[in-house]
Structure 1
Amino acid sequence: MTPPVTPPAGTDPLTQAAPATGWASYSSGTRGGAAATQKETYLVSSPSQLLAALKAQAGKPAQIKVYGTIDMAASDNGGAFKSASDQAARSLISIPSNTTVIGVGSDARIVNGRIMIKGVDNVIVRNLTIANPCDIAPKWDPKDGSSGNWNSEYDGLNVDKSTHVWIDHNTFTDAPRTDDQFPQENGKLKQCHDGALDVKNGSDYVTVSNNVFELHEKNTLVGSSDSTTADDGHLTVTFHGNHYKQVTSRAPRVRFGKVHVYNNYYEGDRNAKLYAHHYSIGVGYKAKIVSQNNAFDIIGATECGDAIEASGSSSKTGAIVDSGSLLNGAALGLGGASCKFSNAVGWTLPYTPALLDASKVRESVLRNAGAGKLSVR
């Protein structure tokens, strides 16, 4: 295995490389569009400008600076979505290789869009507020679960078959279209949201850092299906410094991946009327999770099993190890009666994380995580 690349001394958010404290620094490292010239730097404030900028370089280095709100259902992009196929086509924001997409100021937003990083290498997304898209035509599946469920398409951001990706200092949220605004049909909430951020199909060298994930149900999948066995040995992903606030589950839910989860802050309420906490980290089929110094402040949680769940069937288990994490100020207790998992993760960290003690994580994350915290000129 090749060592992680040491980032350059400069800290300009436009050219900064993914730091050597996560998987995105590994192998050739992640610099996005750092090599772009002034001619290859774009300031965009509308869907048409954004889409044109994404196509202009065809995978050559590019820096795309987002200013204000880009609404993919605005008149500039054809107006309100008219059908499921229309939404699928016009909501898509496809990022090519060697690209940095970054928000300028504190109010850069993507609305009614789905960011797709698919089949590419070396992409950075920073300093954006991403409103998780709302499927205009969710489908009822009577065979999903014991009594059926509504299923929706479209994630806020999807990393698919891609390598060297850094997702940093963004805010993902259902607001303003939170779940309490939608009706009950067939006895279930007509849920229009899918995931906030998913990583799947053999993606590698991904770091998800310093983001806020808020007001969402099923937040992040690493690995989309138990049947996608080709993912085994891939899905190398780091989550650190993130704030999970009123997130029901999947923070993240892992299949197959070598996933490092450290110094994240989880804040929720198991009895909340909206986005009640179910679990945070899901240990799915052949998951290989290393957890360190996370802080869980979950009202109503009394044991480790309230934070860490065995996701999936008893015959398709995964592994997790933890050190230093706290649940409501006390030791998490992984390995206790409610939290017995295999510890055979089978790998060790290929980089050295800058670990904070879990007692200091809350203050650090609240101060640092989310969009608007970077100074982008």
Structure 2
Amino acid sequence: MLKNTGGKPTQVKIYGTIDMAADGPFKNATDQGVRSLISLPSNTTLIGVGADAGIVNGRIMIKGVDNVIVRNLTIANPCDIAPVWDPKDTSTGNWNSRYDGLNVDQATHVWIDHNTFTDAPRTDDQFPKENGKLKQCHDGSLDIKNGADYVTVSNNVFKLHEKNTLVGSSDSTTSDDGHLTVTFHGNLYHDITGRSPRVRFGKVHVYNNYYQGDRDAKLYPHHYSIGVGYKAKIVSQHNAFDIIGAKECGDVVEASGSSGKTGAIVDSGSLLNGVALGLGGESCKFSTAVGWTLPYTPVVLDASKVRESVLRNAGAGKLSVR
């Protein structure tokens, strides 16, 4: 954990790549849990200097604090050395891992900007199958949960990953309701299978993001992008989806959860493979009762201009930091 400076604003600069396993490979799950952790106190900015600043074998935790910024870092999503088989997770069981690249938990006023999150160099195809399922060591890239509030996720690249971002940890965490106010803006989702984001309870604004993928890709095939879960309240504006094999809105916007635990979403101006997204059509029927309006007036690009803007601007190495 970084030293708590008693509320005094602190800027921590990272030069080059920090390897949290530099003292040797993790010995076991306990060792990994301790040595991989980077815990940020309130009023802290963690920022990379230059295009090569990053973190490997680590996980950033922003928990129970206020006013934290993370910018300009390439974060290699951590690989759990001891994933756990759960025979009750899905009808056929699943491997579950413990660590996210970055976790915002019970924290407020958080800005995640101009970072790159990726499974590379340890992508899922490098791991064996056990119990009939890929022994996947990755969990999320970025999760926002447990009553976190006022979080902005902007100008990041998320690539080569399956379960990308949860907003809200579970259907039973009802204390999340009324919180999880989150904005996703200007992000690139490249070869992401799903959860971009998957929302429960949150009042979430998703605008001018660019989604690029292939539903038949051998590695990280696209399944869906925006997940509308229990009591989700999503306002979507002018996002651009270029997904090979996607034919209709339901291929990119999914009802994530049981039929009895639904959410709401409204969209304006988004495009799927160059044509109107069609939210509200036969394949994409959701409640539009989001129950809130934006408390700010964003400058929104037309969706036809989003691809160029996001590819030019998003990700680590695009900022000039001294």
Query: TM-score, length-normalised on structure 1?
Result: 0.85
Are positions 1:63 and 2:8 aligned together?
Answer: no
- Alignment deviations for residues 97-123 of structure 1 (CA, whole Å, 9 cap, x no partner): 000000000000100101000000000
Match of 1:73 among 21, 24, 28: 21
Aligned AA (1:194): D
| Secondary structure in structure 2 of the residue aligned to 1:108 | strand
Aligned residue for 2:189?
Answer: 244
Match of 1:356 among 295, 301, 304: 301
Native 8 Å contact 2:53 2:74 kept in 1: yes
Are positions 1:272 and 2:272 aligned together?
Answer: no
Equivalents in 2 of 1:305, 1:55: separation in Å?
Answer: 47
Aligned residue for 1:307?
Answer: 252
The aligned length equals 322
| Secondary structure in structure 1 of the residue aligned to 2:18 | strand
Equivalents in 2 of 1:288, 1:361: separation in Å?
Answer: 23
Are positions 1:113 and 2:113 aligned together?
Answer: no
- Equivalent residues in 2 for 1:120-139 (5 A)? 120-139=65-84
Aligned residue for 2:146?
Answer: 201
Equivalents in 1 of 2:215, 2:298: separation in Å?
Answer: 31
- Alignment deviations for residues 231-275 of structure 1 (CA, whole Å, 9 cap, x no partner): 111000000000000000000000000000000000000000000
Aligned AA (2:5): Q
- Alignment deviations for residues 37-79 of structure 1 (CA, whole Å, 9 cap, x no partner): xxxxxxxxxxxxxx5xx2162442100000001000002xxx2
| Secondary structure in structure 1 of the residue aligned to 2:33 | helix
Aligned residue for 1:20?
Answer: none
Native 8 Å contact 2:4 2:41 kept in 1: no
Aligned residue for 2:264?
Answer: 319
Are positions 1:146 and 2:91 aligned together?
Answer: yes
Aligned residue for 1:287?
Answer: 232
Equivalents in 2 of 1:162, 1:150: separation in Å?
Answer: 28
Deviation at residue 314 of structure 1 after TM alignment = 0.1
| Secondary structure in structure 1 of the residue aligned to 2:286 | coil
Shift >3 Å, 4+ stretches? none
Aligned residue for 1:88?
Answer: 33
Deviation at residue 171 of structure 1 after TM alignment = 0.1
- Alignment deviations for residues 180-209 of structure 1 (CA, whole Å, 9 cap, x no partner): 000011110000000000000111110000
Native 8 Å contact 1:58 1:96 kept in 2: no
Equivalents in 1 of 2:100, 2:164: separation in Å?
Answer: 9
- Alignment deviations for residues 219-238 of structure 1 (CA, whole Å, 9 cap, x no partner): 00000000000111100000
Equivalents in 2 of 1:207, 1:267: separation in Å?
Answer: 21
* Identical residues among aligned pairs (%): 85
Native 8 Å contact 1:168 1:208 kept in 2: yes
Aligned AA (2:289): A
Equivalents in 2 of 1:73, 1:335: separation in Å?
Answer: 48
Are positions 1:338 and 2:286 aligned together?
Answer: no
- Gaps spanning 5+ residues in structure 1: where? 1-50
Query: TM-score, length-normalised on structure 2?
Result: 0.99
- Equivalent residues in 2 for 1:16-31 (5 A)? none
Aligned AA (1:111): V
Equivalents in 2 of 1:133, 1:354: separation in Å?
Answer: 35
Q: Alpha carbon RMSD of aligned pairs, Å?
A: 0.7
Aligned AA (2:48): G
Equivalents in 2 of 1:268, 1:208: separation in Å?
Answer: 20
Native 8 Å contact 1:213 1:243 kept in 2: yes
Aligned residue for 2:117?
Answer: 172
Native 8 Å contact 2:143 2:167 kept in 1: yes
Equivalents in 1 of 2:175, 2:95: separation in Å?
Answer: 29
Deviation at residue 295 of structure 1 after TM alignment = 0.0
Match of 2:169 among 207, 216, 224: 224
| Secondary structure in structure 1 of the residue aligned to 2:152 | strand
- Alignment deviations for residues 110-148 of structure 1 (CA, whole Å, 9 cap, x no partner): 001010000000000000000000000001111111111
| Secondary structure in structure 1 of the residue aligned to 2:292 | coil
Aligned AA (1:144): D
Aligned AA (2:273): N
- Gaps spanning 5+ residues in structure 2: where? none
Equivalents in 1 of 2:151, 2:78: separation in Å?
Answer: 22
| Secondary structure in structure 1 of the residue aligned to 2:184 | strand
Native 8 Å contact 1:234 1:256 kept in 2: yes
